[in-house]
Amino acid sequence: MDKRDVAMQASMPSMMVPRYGKLQAAETFGERLLIASNGVFLEVNRVWARFIRRVSSSIATPLPYGEQQSTTEWKIEGIPKHLLRQFNDMARAQSHREIGGCIIWNEKTGYRLSPVITLESSGAHLRYQPPPMEAGDHLIIDCHSHARFGACFSKTDDADDAWSVKLAYVVGNCDRQEQSVAMRLCIKGIFETTQLEEKS
């Protein structure tokens, strides 16, 4: 086999879902494909969460494998509300332009909100670099504002989030007292509207 294929398959191994036994969770952090009788599933395992989602439907040919379901396992506590409120306040203070921020979870110190490194910004555009990450850091929520426009996810957002595993958060109507917000879960190109359980 070509060495490039070996490397690619090692980065995305596949596993047959057992028909009679229990599927064991991945022992390492990364991704793998699960081949089941009811389709092909993507398993994504991170320090902070584990996701299984179906990426292909089943075929007519019977397969000697077990069934699999889409599941979500959170390994961390809910996002502190005060960090989302803090970002909303930052966006309101700069309602004339888009801004960005990252809610990061550190394995030892917990959550923090870090501003991004802004490269370009206007009332309808934002280009930025993520903040520096420290040992044990994990990006949980990628936040940005839509200035005076409503909160939504654009085609540009879809392209930016296509390879990510994170939550994405948008706050809009930042010039108003009541802002609009949108949040979704991003799993390697799978986007799911969500409301994360929060703590104060």
Query: Is residue 110 within 8 Å of 134, Cβ to Cβ?
Result: no
For the chain, domain boundaries: 3-74, 79-199
C-alpha dist (Å) from residue 96 to 48, 70, 74, 85? 35, 41, 36, 18
Burial of 191 (0-12, 13-18, 19+ CB in 10 A): middle
Give the closest residue to 37 by CA, choosing from 14, 62, 56. 62
Q: The tokens of 92 are what?
A: 């309101």
pLDDT by 10s per residue, the chain, length 200: 888 988 888 888 999 999 999 999 888 999 999 999 999 999 999 999 999 999 998 878 888 999 999 999 999 988 888 999 999 999 999 999 999 999 999 999 999 999 999 999 999 999 999 999 999 999 999 999 999 999 999 999 999 999 999 999 999 999 999 999 999 999 999 999 987 554 44
Distance CA 64, CA 24 (A): 18
Amino acid 198: pLDDT: 46
E-assigned strands of the chain? Answer: 14-16, 30-36, 39-45, 49-57, 71-74, 79-80, 100-106, 110-115, 117-121, 126-129, 137-145, 165-172, 180-187, 190-193, 198-199
Superfamily covering domain 79-199: Cytidine Deaminase, domain 2 (3.40.140.10)
